[in-house]
Amino acid sequence: MNASFPQPNLATLVLDFDSTFTQVEALDVLAELLSASDPARQADVAHIKTLTDQAMSGDIGFAEALQRRIQILKPTREDIAALVEVLRGRVSASVARNRAVFAENPGKFRIISGGFHEFIDPVVADLGIEAEYVLANRLIFDADGVATGVDQTNPLSQDGGKVAAVRDLGLSGDIVMIGDGWTDYEVYKGGAATRFYAFTENVSRPKVVATADGASVQVAATLDEVLHAEGYEGRYSFPRSKLKVLLLENVHPDAVRAFREEGYDVTLQKGALSEEALIEAIAGVHILGIRSKTNVTAKVLEHADKLLAVGAFCIGTNQIDLKGCSQKGIAVFNAPYSNTRSVVEMVMGLTVILTRSIYDKSVSMHQGKWDKSATGAHEVRGKTLGIVGYGAIGSQLSVLAEAFGMRVIYYDLAEKLTLGNARRYRSLDALLAEADVISLHVDGRPENKNLIGAAQFARMKDGVLFINLSRGHVVEIDALSNALKSGKVYGAAIDVFPEEPRTNDEPFVSSLKGLKNLILTPHIGGSTEEAQESIGQFASERLLNFLNRGDTTFSVNMPHVQLSEVQGRHRFLHLHQNVPGVMAAINQIMARYDLNVLGQHLKTNETLGYVIVDVDRGYPKEALEELKAVNGTLKFRSLM
């Protein structure tokens, strides 16, 4: 049942080099390099670009444009070597990610260009395509190593040269031309190619795109699409450009870039979407990226016909109907640790500011009062920091505080790995009685409501400093207010409140306003540009690993399976309700079709079962249909 490779009967694919194999026009890049080293040649750059564009759009003859460009540029061998280095970094994303396909199908790919072997051969060789499969011109150099002309005997230096060059190959079987330019289309029009793909990954030329007729001439946004349509087995089961990613609420540009670089079809929306608007937008979307202001409700999920995963580009996932997602087999990811460092740094800063009464001194200065005194101002060194909740934030704070010379004690309900010289306390009361500074970092579970009230403040040392950057409901506000007024608490910094304004337009209402040595901040503990960047990177990586490999590490609702890349094999991802018999049914189908299993994982949680099977390629497609039809199946995908 297993196929041997390379596959038989595949069309030969002829790829244009400039703006198709690479993202750029090589001669334009050469002109830029030359003008960068000699500003006097600035005008040459513009001239070269105009000639390139006119030739690509079919407005002037190719031969004329080529001769004129070389005569203007007059590059040396060193200039060509510099050009090669630039081009190596500008290979088209979909070409680069399909290098395995080139390697597996030697001789099935040809590179064609009116450009020159001197810079094309080394670039395509990096991707495993030998120079013998490159159709291109050769430069003529003078005795000083300066290119002065083009080999006129090469058909590619003439108008219509690409048609002649492809025809002269005398290949049997189908020939498929892929390119962005008019001369590429001419290869098909002139009868030398069976099909043509107008390639738009890097540049979309209206005149070329308009040639698409839906049958032999099509538009392809990536090489993945062409390989898929031409039946090439490769790394990707499905052209990524056909998978829709909808990113809302201005998610970080790093995330947008990551999806685009991997070839997915990305749509951006600056703001949040209302339920109604999201219901309309969600149809056909495979990946949805949101932040905290878009609600993914049960109603939205009803219309999510293609949705594979939701990425919360933030910390919390309260805005998402997690149960509904699980029932439909939709994976949910977030970025729980991306702002940890930001919170920790703020706590350290606040600790110093409170210990020195810097905030009150600054307020006095603004009122015209000069109050220079050391009374009540202390170093943090040697003071005891009591951390309540030793999770991601609490434990990092422990490390930074020790670096400041503080003595760290902590209390956590769960068993934790103690870092540095910190000491674990078995009771909250003992910690409260001993700390000079108390910082709360517990999670938001309902039992933590009013964890710190009048009784707890009473147990603290007189003149303690108190910091809460965890959750608003954890501290009883009136008790804190009284403790500050009585001097029991000398200073406090509060970033989170039981009730917080929902927008910047709503007023902040609290009995804490106006109290001395109390720093109030609007829930900004984790709000830094670095945290935003880190959230963008973390969440997009989780989503991409899920899409590309099936990896569910850190998912909020899926059984966690860490998976390697899919290379040289196919991977089935089968997500089902966690009910008896599914695994047996899957194994029966695989045995019946004699699939060669290379690796298998099964992970379950309370509601879901996730089976991952790596198999050798070359199996009947009916096997996939049967796997999809297994009772209890929620989602089935295959990757390659």
Closest CB 460 distance from ligand NAD, rounded Å: 16
Q: Should residue 442 be labelled a site residue for ligand NAD when binding is judged by CB under 6 A?
A: yes
CA geometry: angle 264, 542, 337, nearest 5 deg? 140
Stretch that binds ligand NAD, among 18-26, 469-477, 549-557, 571-579 (CB under 6 A): 469-477
Q: Who contacts 253 (Cβ-Cβ below 8 Å, separation ≥6)?
A: 536
Closest CB 425 distance from ligand NAD, rounded Å: 10
Helix or strand (DSSP H, E) at 544: helix 529-549
Query: Count residues contacting ligand NAD (CB under 6 A)?
Result: 30
Closest CB 316 distance from ligand NAD, rounded Å: 7
- Which 3 state secondary structure label does DSSP give 119? helix
Binding mask 406-425 for ligand NAD (x = CB under 6 A): -----xxxx-----------
Among 97, 205, 291, 441, binds ligand NAD (CB under 6 A): 441
Name residues contacting ligand NAD, limited to 151-180 (CB under 6 A). none
Catalytic residue among 104, 230, 500, 533: 500
Name residues contacting ligand NAD, limited to 304-323 (CB under 6 A). 315
User: Is 114 or 394 the residue whose CB approaches ligand NAD more closely?
Assistant: 394
Among 12, 202, 339, 357, binds ligand NAD (CB under 6 A): 339
Closest CB 38 distance from ligand NAD, rounded Å: 53
Q: Are 299 and 320 in contact (CB under 8 A)?
A: no
Query: 441 catalytic, yes or no?
Result: no
Separation between Cα atoms, residue 256 and residue 241, nearest integer Å: 14
Separation between Cα atoms, residue 537 and residue 528, nearest integer Å: 14
What does the block give as tokens for 493?
A: 């910094």
Query: 500 catalytic, yes or no?
Result: yes
User: Is 252 or 286 the residue whose CB approaches ligand NAD more closely?
Assistant: 252
Q: Should residue 443 be labelled a site residue for ligand NAD when binding is judged by CB under 6 A?
A: yes
Binding mask 355-394 for ligand NAD (x = CB under 6 A): ---------------------------------xxxxxxx
475-478: Cβ within 8 A, 24+ apart: 475/440, 475/450, 475/451, 476/450, 476/452, 477/510, 477/511, 477/512, 478/511
Catalytic residue among 97, 286, 471, 571: 471
Instruction: Give which of 176, 282, 161 is closest to 228, Cα–Cα.
Output: 176
Q: Should residue 236 be labelled a site residue for ligand NAD when binding is judged by CB under 6 A?
A: no
Name residues contacting ligand NAD, limited to 508-537 (CB under 6 A). 523, 525-526
Name residues contacting ligand NAD, limited to 477-496 (CB under 6 A). 495-496
Q: Should residue 612 be labelled a site residue for ligand NAD when binding is judged by CB under 6 A?
A: no
Binding mask 579-608 for ligand NAD (x = CB under 6 A): ------------------------------
Q: Residues 274-283, buried b or exposed e (16+ Cβ, 10 A)?
A: eeeebbebbe
Query: 523 catalytic, yes or no?
Result: yes
Catalytic residue among 523, 569, 601, 637: 523
- Which 3 state secondary structure label does DSSP give 468? strand
Q: Are 637 and 547 in contact (CB under 8 A)?
A: no
Instruction: Give which of 288, 290, 238 is closest to 573, Cα–Cα.
Output: 238
Q: Nearest to ligand NAD by Cβ — which residue? A: 391
CA-to-CA separations, 291 to 182, 339, 445, 452, in angstroms, rounded: 43, 14, 21, 30
Separation between Cα atoms, residue 488 and residue 468, nearest integer Å: 16
Match 């309309």 to its residue by tokens. 280
Report the residue count for the chain. Answer: 640
Among 471, 488, 549, 635, binds ligand NAD (CB under 6 A): 471
Interface ranges with ligand NAD (CB under 6 A):
315, 339-340, 343, 388-394, 411-414, 441-445, 448, 451, 469-471, 495-496, 523, 525-526
* Active site residues per annotation: 471, 500, 523
